Structure 1
Amino acid sequence: MFSDLILWAQSGPADDFWIAVTILIVSCITGFIGAFYFFSRKRMMENTPTSRIRSAAQGFVELEGTGLLLEGPPIIAPLSGMTCVWYRYEVEEYRRSGKNSSWHTIEKGVSDGLFLLQDDTGQCIVDPEGAVVTPAEANVWYGGSKRPTSGPRAGGGGIFLLRRGRYRYTEKRIHPRNSIYAIGLFKTVGGAGSEIDTEADLRELLKEWKKNSDLLLESFDRNRDGQISMEEWQAVREAALKQVMRNHAETLSSPPVHTLSRTMDKRRSFIISAIPQHVLIKRFRNYAVGLIGLFFLAGSMASWLIGLRLRG
């Protein structure tokens, strides 16, 4: 078999050879990029200390606590109908075309609903948009309609091995009271410690007022000439400044609200996980090791085959 591979590399059809080499090169590049991704996330998690919500600094932080629903309408997973704090789902249809058959996605979605993360010092509102989420539970089941007539089998946290029906339903969830590890951008809105930028807020308010020129003229065009003079514009600025100062006073007197969301820094992932931090770190390490192995194996194989071809 090994000698057949050498013979094929030296004298096999050129198209087949270079397709195989291209696949190996793509696998090599994928392995390197993937290994770097998972290793950098592993290092990021290891190097970020866990903070308490009440005393967490503003910026990129790591939190651990319990997931809870906010007051108001609950978050409902669309396929199972279960109450949760986060979900992702997919509906696939089994299609045949001649001798070929495969699953095709016909509907999918992910929760963007806010939920609470609570530890023994306080609560934080989590916005999961843009997060890399590792759920607590995943179900796969089958049915005969685009939407399931029943939820996953009771106690079934995995995959149904017996396939019945042309539709496959996949749903992943984090449930209320699940333990959650999260790392992302921490901000506090309101309270005495709020950051106030009067000039920036004044510019923003004036920009909003300018969008409604009719209302601006009605309120500040004293001589009714259809224009805002320099003197009238000064009155506009003074009114806007008073509004900004009132808004700031309300912000400073309101109770602080902590939030966790994604950061715009691509080097820092926004991660939400329902499995413990040490398990997630180990998983990322294993992924990185496997992918770096793919990098070396595919790269070595591609180099060896090209060398045989050139010498042949």
Structure 2
Amino acid sequence: MPISIEEVTYLYQLNTPFERTALRDVNVSIPSGALVAFLGHTGSGKSTLVQHLNGLLRPTKGRVVVDDIEVRAITKRRDKKESLLPLRRRVGLVFQYPEHQLFEETVERDVMFGPRNFGATEAEAKERAHAALRLVGLDESLWTRSPFDLSGGQMRRVAIAGVLASRPDVLVVDEPTAGLDPLGRRDMLSLFKRLKHELDLTLILVSHDMDDVLTYAERVVVMERGAVAFDGDPFDLFRDEALVTSLQLDVPNVLRMAQAFEPTFGTIPPALRTEAELADWIALHLRKEGSL
């Protein structure tokens, strides 16, 4: 499902002494099935922008078009919240620390909430909840338990299942690995990548972790002071050290390591995304040289 962000400007606390511009004339097009990462330092506008994709925020100026659904600024008091329900069913948003949104008595009931809110019958909601819980890999023995009795990682999977149960076409995940250890981070991002392919989703990832972005993203959009500062291939971004520095980003560890090894091993292929891939390349190089 294609997404078009056209000339979007957004002001917080409009027409007050505290008015502040969060987005200014943003233009981004995202084709169906893409995996795009939004980057930027704190306050750059990336989280504000993605909240426009399912109508949590509406532009002060400009418009967002998701497939055939258009979101513009509210111009009349009678603009109805209900008119955004079709958009919110098709665009699922997973917040940072999504487990903080859990509230029902059981895991099953919590995941059923979304489908019921969008008009599914009790039986349909239960069927969708069960399918979503299986997708995120939560054991069936936990479904009748309170979500607050689960581990942090399990709670996060319940919250993600709650979004998936509404069967969105687009999944927006805002800092999905916040608070997780390295293994938990890898498992969570691998889960989203698997879900993207299994469900044919458009996946939009908001992250501050450059290693995660390089490993998983096909394209990056960097926000700076509410505007788009870069939109393109992650390797093109991270190879430009001056640009990375000016945007207050970090170079991914694998690229730093590759640069450090080049005096010893010569030019290292530029398309290595992970430290494991770099280690494999070095091992292969040493075998060819007869050092292993």
Please tell me whether Structure 1 or Structure 2 has the larger radius of gyration of its CA atoms: 1
Same fold (TM over 0.5): no
Structure number with greater CO (CA < 8 Å, separation at least 6) is: 1
More strand by share: 1
TM-score, length basis structure 1 = 0.22
